[in-house]
Structure 1
Amino acid sequence: MPQLSVIVYGPNTQGRLAELLDSLAAHPLTDAEVIVAAVGDWARETAEGHTPETIVVPLPDGTGDAAARSAGAARASGRWLHFVHAKDGLPAGAPRLIAERTAELDATDAPGVPGVPGVPGLPVDVLLFDHVTTTWRTSAAPSRDGRRLAAVGRAGRPLADAADLLRLAPLLGNRALRADFWRAHEERFGTDDEALAAHAALLHAGRVACLNQTAYEHRVLRPESLPPRAPEDRLALVDRYESLLPLTRNRRAPHAVLYDLMVRDLVRTFAREDLPDPVAREFFRRASLAAVRWRPPDHRRPAGLDGVRHALLEEGAYTRYRAFQAANRTRRAARKAVRTRKRQLGAKLRDHQYRRALDRPLDPGLAVFAAYWDRGVACNPAAIAAELAVRAPHIHPVWVVNRANAPLLPPGTDHVLPGTRRYWETLATATYLTNNVNFPDAVVKRPGQIHLQTHHGTPLKRMGLDQMDHPAAAKGLDFAALLARIDRWDYSVSANSHSTRMWERAYPSRYTSLDHGYPRNDVYYRATAADVRAARDRLGIPPGRTAVLYAPTHRDYEAGFTPRLDLAALADRLGEDTVLLVRAHYFYGGTASPLTGLRRSGRIIDVSSYDPVEELCLAADALVTDYSSIMFDYANLDRPIVIHADDWETYRTTRGVYFDLMAEHPGQVARTQEELTEIFASGAWRDESAAKARAAFRRRFCEYDDGRAAERVVRRVFLGEPEVSLPPVLPVEDRTPAPSPQEATA
C-alpha cells in the first residue's frame, strides 16, 4: 500500500495536463502512486503517454469534477489522497513532502484513549499545506496562508482549536485527506463546488495538521477564456454557506470564522458582479436572510465602509445599498475621468478623426487585411484575400502596408499607410479585420465588426501569456495590453488540434477556434508540376540539382542572424549536385546579410528576402531547420525534413517550448554540423526511418491542411455559412501533395 495517492482529475484544460504529468515523471515517487481521472479524449491521450507509471481512468467528456474525483479515488490504494486538478501544478518534490508528513502523522496517530494526555483519541484526517498561485498575469505568487499554517504548528488538533484554518484558500489541492476519512464522508464531498468540498473536509475532520511548506500550484484561468456563467449561478454562493454553517452548530469558533467568510463573500459578489436587477434582488434577499439567520450572538460588524455594507445587508435594504454603491462609483468615476482626460490630450487629433469615423455606419463590403506588422500581402491573410476575390467579389479588400513596403505591393493593390487619416477611417468602418498578428491597441472593436486572427505558424515555442516565465522571449511585453487585443478576436484559425489548444491557452478569451487549416498551406495541395518547375526556374536552380532549403528561426538571446552552420563547408561537403537555399528569419530583414560572400557558382543562394516562402518550399527537395514553424508547413509536402538542433537545451530554456522536438521530430535530427553532413552523405535524410517519423508528424501537425482551408474560412467568416455546410477535412492519407521536384521533371 503506497503512502500517498496523487489523483489528477478533470479535462486537459488549456493543455496543462502534460506539464503536470511531466513534472511528476521528472521526480519519481518512491512511496506514492499517480492516478489520472481523465475527462475526455484529449486528457486520456495525454495521460496514456505517461503510462505505465500512471494509472489512467478514462471518463467521458462532460464528467463533472466531483464524479472525476470519485472515479480516481475508487482506483486509489494509498493511505492518503491528494486531489490535483489537471489545470494546476505541483512544485518539484511536493508529493514526497506530503508522503513524508502523512507518514509521520500515521506513526503518531496510533489508536488511543480519548482524554488521556499524550494519547490522541481522534486521528488526523486532513493535512493542510501552503500553495502558490499562477494567473494569466503572474507566475507562482506566494499565498497569504503561510502565517496561519505556521501559527498552528505541526501538532494535530481539532478544528475548534484552530478555526482560523477555515480562512485558508478553499482548495482541495492544498490539503491531503486520509483515505478512510474520504470514503466515510465521500457523499458529503461529492460536489463540483470545490470550495464547498474543501471547507466540508475541515468541518468533518476529527483533527487537522499543517505543513508550512509549499506543495501545490493553483492556476487561475482567465475568466474571459471560460464559458460565461449565467447570472443565476451566483445564487449558489448562498447555498454553499447554507450547507456549511449547520456543520458548525455548538462549535463557537468555527461558526464565527465561517460566518465572517460568508458575509465577506456575499458582499464582494454583490458589489463586483454586474447582475441583472431581478437576479441581484433575489441574491440580496437570500444573502440578507442568511446573514441574519446565522449571525453569532456576539458578532460585531467591522468598522468603516465595510460595516455600513454589512448593516445594509442584514437589514435587507436593497434600495439604500444600491444608492450607497452608486455614490461610491460616482466618486471613483470622477477620479478616473480626470486620469483619462490627461491621457487623451496626447493623441487629440488622431482620436478626433478616429472617433468621428467611429460614428459612421460599418461598411459590409469593406475588409481590412494586414500581415507581419504591416509588411505587405503575405501569409494566411493573403490566401484568404485571394479566395475572397473569387467567392465574395462584392467585399473590397484594403491592405495595411508600411511606407517602406508599399512600393513592393502587387499592382492595383488598394492599401493604406499606418497612422494616416484614411487608415483610421478604414479601420473604423470596415466590417472585417484580418491579421496574422494584432492590430494596434488604439483600435476599437465596434459592435458588428468581425476580427479574424489567422496566426502565422504552428507553435513549438511558447507564445502569448506563456512567455511570462521566459523574460528573454517576452522582452517587456505588456501582457495587459495583449489581453485587451485578444479580447477583440472573434475567430482564431488553426492548422491542427495542438495549435487550437495552445492558442486557447496562450491567448485565453472567448473567440471561436476555426479548425479549418492554414489557408497559406492550400498551395501545397493545389500546385502543379508546372508550378514547381517555374519556382525552381525563378530561383535559378539548375536542372537535376537537389535543392536544400535551410531556414533557421530567431533566437531571443541573439541580437542578429548568425548562421549556426559553416555554409561554405556544408556546400562543399554536399557536392556539386546540391544547391543550398539559405533563408534568414524575417526579424533580421534590416541587417546586413553575412551570406553575401558565400555565393559561389550558384550552389548557395541567399533567399532571405524572397517572397512568398511557400514558393521556396515548393522548389526545395528537402528542408533543414531548427525550431522554425516552417517545418509544420513544409511537412504538408511529405518531403524530407532534417532538424539541426545544436542548441536545443539553451533554446528550450530561454524561449520555452510546448513539446519535446527531440522526441517528436519530423525526420532525422542532427546535433552537430558533422552529424548533419553525415545524414545527407549517407542518404539517411530520406530513408525509411525518416519517412516513418515524418508520417507521424504529418498526422499530428498537418491535421486540417488539405488544400481547402481558405475556402472554409471565407465561407464561414465572410459569407456566414454554418459549420456543418463546409467541406469536411480530408484525411491525411487521402491527400495528394504537390509533386516533388523530381516528379515534376520526370
Structure 2
Amino acid sequence: QQNNSKYSFNMVWSVDKNYEHEFIRQGLNYSNRFTLSWLWKMATAKYWVTNSRLPLWLPKPNKTIYIQTWHGTPLKRLANDMDVVRMPGTTTEKYKKNFSKESSKWDVLISPNKYSTEIFKRAFHFNNTVIETGYPRNDILYKKDIEPYKEKLKKKLGLERKKVILYAPTWRDDNFYSKGNYKFDLKLDLEMIKKDLGNQVVILLRMHYLVNQDFDLEDYKEFIMDVSDYPDIRDLYIISDILVTDYSSVFFDFANLKKPILFYTYDLEYYRDNLRGFYFDIETNAPGKIVDNSDDLIEELKNLLKNPKLHENYARFYNEFCLYEDGKSTKRVVEKIFGKEIGRES
C-alpha cells in the first residue's frame, strides 16, 4: 500500500495458495488466486500488473489498465516468432492464437531496452503503448549499500568465507512430465566438481519455476544447495561471484552487476536449430565463455575463481542491454504510468 500526497493506491498481491506463507510472513496485502474475493478484486481493479500471461478466460474490464512487465530480455524466440511449439497440451497454431488474444488485452508493456521493444512488438503482435524504462525489478542491483546487504545475505544463508557460483539454467520445451511440469537433466559431474572445487565454493542450484525435479544431492550437500524455492532470485545474483547458465534470460539481469558469466550449453545446436531458436548469435555475442561439457566447465570455473576477468564481449553487451537499468527504472515507470492516465493509443 502507498499513501502520500502524490499517489494513493491500495495494492493487492495475487497469490497462489501454495505460496501464501511468504506473503503472510512479510505482512503483505494479498488475495488467493481464483477465489471469489480474487475475482471481485480483478473485476474492480483500476490496474492489473503482471509479468506473464493471465488466464485467457479472464475478461479485462473496460476501465482497467493492464500493465505487462514481462519477465526478461529475450534470447530464445517468443510467441509468434516461434516456428514450432513443442510444449505439451497445445499446438503451434493454438499457442500463437491464444497468445495474441491475451496480448491484445495489454494496455502498457514495459521494455528493458530497444532490442526487446522491437522483438516484443512483433512476437506479441502488440500495438499499444510500450515504455522503455529498464526493468524495475533490477533497481535493487544498484543499491548504494549493496556490499553490506550482500554480507548480510551470505550470513543468513551460511555462506560466509566461500565463493558462490549460481547455476540457473532454463527449461526445455520438450522435456516434461505433463503440461507446465518439466523435467531437467542435471548434466554436472558432481564428483569432479567436489574433488576440484569442493573446498572453495558453494554452488547454488536454481531451477526454472516450471521444472519439477528432485535432485539427490545428499552426498554433495556441503558444497551444493538447491535454492529453487528461495523467494527472490535477485538476492542470489547479489551474493554470487559467478553465474553459470544456458539460454535463460537471467544473464541479461545478472550482467547489471558486472560479474563473470559462463554459458554451459551442452545442447546448443539442438536448442538453437530444433527447439526454440535465438534472436542473436550467442556463440559470437555472449558476454561469457561458452562450454559444452562438464570438464571444460570446471576448468573455466577454476580460471575465473583465480582471475575473475570479464569476457571481451561484456562491455558491448552491457551497453546494448543494460544501459537503461540504473536503479531508477521504478521511478520512471511510476511517473509514466501512474503520474498520468495511460491508456490505449488511438
Per the normalisation by structure 1, the TM-score is 0.42
Are 1:495 and 2:112 counterparts?
Answer: yes
Are 1:534 and 2:155 counterparts?
Answer: no
What SS is found at the alignment partner of 1:720? Answer: coil
Residue from 285, 290, 293 that aligns with 1:669: 290
Q: Write the distance in 2 (CA, Å) between the matches of 1:583 and 1:498.
A: 27
Q: Deviations over 1:579-604 (max 9, x none)?
A: 1111111112x44x214324333x11
Residues 575 and 438 of structure 1: is their aligned pair in 2 closer, same or farther, counting only changes over 3 Å? closer
Q: Is contact 2:76-2:278 (8 Å) kept?
A: yes
How far did 1:480 drift? 2.3
% same residue: 32
Are 1:400 and 2:14 counterparts?
Answer: yes
Equivalent residue, structure 1, for 2:303: 682
Q: How does 1:130-141 map to 2 (within 5 A)?
A: none
Equivalent residue, structure 2, for 1:486: 103
Q: Write the distance in 2 (CA, Å) between the matches of 1:389 and 1:674.
A: 55
Q: Write the distance in 1 (CA, Å) between the matches of 2:3 and 2:278.
A: 38
Residue from 204, 207, 221 that aligns with 1:584: 207
Q: Deviations over 1:393-413 (max 9, x none)?
A: 620011111221122214432
Are 1:552 and 2:186 counterparts?
Answer: no
Q: How does 1:714-733 map to 2 (within 5 A)?
A: 714-720=334-340
Are 1:655 and 2:276 counterparts?
Answer: yes
What SS is found at the alignment partner of 1:521? Answer: helix
Q: Write the distance in 2 (CA, Å) between the matches of 1:643 and 1:651.
A: 14
Are 1:628 and 2:248 counterparts?
Answer: yes
Q: Write the distance in 2 (CA, Å) between the matches of 1:552 and 1:437.
A: 19
Q: Write the distance in 2 (CA, Å) between the matches of 1:514 and 1:609.
A: 31
Q: How many residues align?
A: 330
How far did 1:573 drift? 1.6
Q: Write the distance in 1 (CA, Å) between the matches of 2:306 and 2:113.
A: 25
Equivalent residue, structure 1, for 2:179: none
Q: How does 1:232-247 map to 2 (within 5 A)?
A: none
Q: Write the distance in 2 (CA, Å) between the matches of 1:423 and 1:668.
A: 46
Q: Is contact 2:85-2:95 (8 Å) kept?
A: no
Q: Write the distance in 1 (CA, Å) between the matches of 2:110 and 2:320.
A: 16
Equivalent residue, structure 2, for 1:614: 234
Are 1:646 and 2:263 counterparts?
Answer: no
One-letter code aligned to 1:532 = K
Q: Write the distance in 2 (CA, Å) between the matches of 1:542 and 1:568.
A: 23
How far did 1:502 drift? 0.8
How far did 1:686 drift? 4.7
Equivalent residue, structure 1, for 2:320: 700
Q: Is contact 1:668-1:684 (8 Å) kept?
A: no
Q: Write the distance in 2 (CA, Å) between the matches of 1:638 and 1:685.
A: 17
How far did 1:390 drift? 7.4
Are 1:569 and 2:188 counterparts?
Answer: no
What SS is found at the alignment partner of 2:251? Answer: helix
Residues 405 and 634 of structure 1: is their aligned pair in 2 closer, same or farther, counting only changes over 3 Å? same
Equivalent residue, structure 2, for 1:454: 69
Equivalent residue, structure 1, for 2:140: 523
What SS is found at the alignment partner of 1:513? Answer: strand
Structure 1: state its 5+ residue gaps: 1-384, 723-746
How far did 1:685 drift? 8.2
Task: Please report the RMSD computed on the Cα atoms of aligned residues, expressed in angstroms.
Answer: 2.2
Q: Deviations over 1:628-679 (max 9, x none)?
A: 1110000000000011111100111211211111111111211211211221
Residues 606 and 568 of structure 1: is their aligned pair in 2 closer, same or farther, counting only changes over 3 Å? farther
Equivalent residue, structure 2, for 1:443: 58
How far did 1:537 drift? 1.2
Residues 684 and 415 of structure 1: is their aligned pair in 2 closer, same or farther, counting only changes over 3 Å? closer
Higher helix share: 1
Q: Write the distance in 1 (CA, Å) between the matches of 2:20 and 2:275.
A: 35
Q: How does 1:273-292 map to 2 (within 5 A)?
A: none
Question: Which protein has greater RCO, CA pairs closer than 8 Å, 6+ apart?
Answer: 2
Residues 608 and 622 of structure 1: is their aligned pair in 2 closer, same or farther, counting only changes over 3 Å? same
One-letter code aligned to 2:243 = L
How far did 1:684 drift? 8.3
How far did 1:392 drift? 5.9
